[in-house]
Amino acid sequence: MTARADRIAKLKEIAKQRVLILDGSWGVMIQKRKLDEADYRGDRFVHHNGQLKGNNDLLCLTRPDIVTELHDAYYGAGADISETNTFSATSIAQADYELEEAVRDINLAGARLAREAADRWTAKEPHKPRFVAGSIGPLNKMLSMSSDVNDPGARSVTFDQVYEAYREQMIALHEGGVDLFLIETITDTMNCKAAIKAIMDLEDEGYEPLPIWISGTITDRSGRTLSGQTVEAFWNSVKHAKPFAVGLNCALGAELMRPHIAELSRVAETLVSAYPNAGLPNAFGEYDEEPHQTGHELHEWAEQGLVNILGGCCGTTPDHIAHVAKAVEGMAPRRIPERPKAMRLAGLEPFELA
C-alpha cells in the first residue's frame, strides 16, 4: 500500500466515526492581507502584460508563504481537510490573465504547499491526521447554457476543451500529492461531467485512484443549480462517479441552504458535505454572520443527522471553522441511507422508474 493509499484508508475510516471538518474561505482571508500588484507578480511575472491582482491562485507561485500560513491557520482551527489554493487554476479560467502556460506550475505548487502543511500537522498531532483536497472550481464558461442570447445552441467552449482543461489541472494536483479531488461550486452539471470523465480516464491510464468529492451550488431560493437542476436531479446526474462525498457549498448561508442539504441527505447514497457562506452578503458585499452563529447552525444539522462533512465558504474564517469543529466535536456522522433499487434519471427534474 502506498503512503497516499494509507492516508485515504484512514480518511474513510475516520468518516465512519465522526463528522469531518473542512477549511473555510480562502478569498476572504487573502483579501484581509490587502495585497498589491507586486505580490501577485513576484519575480516571475514582473513583466507580464495586464493586471494580475486578484488572481489568488497565482499566489501559490509568487507568495507561497501566505498560502502556507492559511493552511496552517485552518488546520490549527480544527480542519481535517484543507483545499489547495487552485480554485480557478485551469487554462480556461487563467486565460483571463493570459496565464495558460502557468497552469501546471500553479497546481503543482498548490498541491505541494498543502501536502507539506498537512504532513507537518499530522507529525505534530498524529492522533488527528490532516488531508488535502485538490480544489477544482467552476469555469467562467458553461456547456449547458448558451453564450449568445440570440442563439440557444451557441457555446463558447466544447466538451473536449473543458475536459482537457480539467485534465491538465488534475494531473498536476495528483502529482503534487493531493488525497482526493474536490469538484466544487458546481453551477453547470455538464462541466462537472467533463471533470468526472477526466478523473475516471486518469485511473484508466494507471494513475493511482483518488476519491472524488462533488459539491454543487444552489444559486438562489429556487432550489436549483444555475443550469436548472433540482438537488435530486443533480445527484442522479453525478452518482455514476460513485463519489466519496457529495454536497453543496457557496451562494447561500446555512439557514437558506438547510432544506436543500436535507433533501440531498435523503437521496444520496454516500457521504454528504455542506460548507455554506457566512450568511448572505450585506450591501457592501461583506459577510456579517459571526463564528458562533455558524457553529450553532451547523451543530443542529449534525444533531439531526444530515451531514458527514462540514466547513465554510465565502466569508468564513479560521475562527468560524474553530467554532464549527467545537460545535460538532464527538457527534456521530449521518448514516448513509439504503434506498430500494430503481432506475433513477435526471434532466432538470429527477425521474424514477421502480
> Has residue 354 got a pLDDT over 80?
no
pLDDT at position 1 is: 84
Give mean pLDDT, residues 282-288.
88
Question: Pairing relation of β-strands 309-310 and 343-346?
Answer: unpaired
Q: Select the more confidently predicted residue: 220 or 116.
A: 116
Whether domain 3-353 has CATH 3.40.109.10: the reply is: no
For residue 285, is it left (φ>0), alpha (ψ between -120 and 50) or beta?
left
pLDDT at position 44 is: 97
CA distance 74 to 82: 7
Tell me how crowded residue 32 is: count the other CB atoms within 10 A of its CB: 9
- State phi, psi for 178 to the nearest 5 degrees: -70, 155
pLDDT at position 166 is: 98
Q: Return the amino acid letter for 112.
A: R
pTM of the model: 0.96
Helix axes of 103-124 and 64-77: crossing angle, nearest 10 degrees: 40
Which of 89-98, 184-193, 215-224 shows the lowest per-residue confidence on average (mean pLDDT)?
215-224
Name the binding residues.
Answer: 250, 313-314
pLDDT at position 295 is: 97
- Please give the C-alpha separations between residue 110 and each of 60, 105, 113, 311, in angstroms, as whole numbers: 5, 8, 5, 20
> Has residue 273 got a pLDDT over 80?
yes
Name the binding residues for Zn(2+).
Answer: 250, 313-314
> Has residue 115 got a pLDDT over 80?
yes
Mean pLDDT rounded to a whole number for the chain: 96
Residue-range domain boundaries for the chain: 3-353
> Has residue 6 got a pLDDT over 80?
yes
Percent of the chain with pLDDT over 90: 89
Q: Select the more confidently predicted residue: 303 or 149.
A: 303
pLDDT, tens digit (0-9, with 9 covering 90-100), for 10-38: 999 999 999 999 999 999 999 999 999 99
pLDDT at position 327 is: 98
pLDDT, tens digit (0-9, with 9 covering 90-100), for 57-79: 999 999 999 999 999 999 999 99
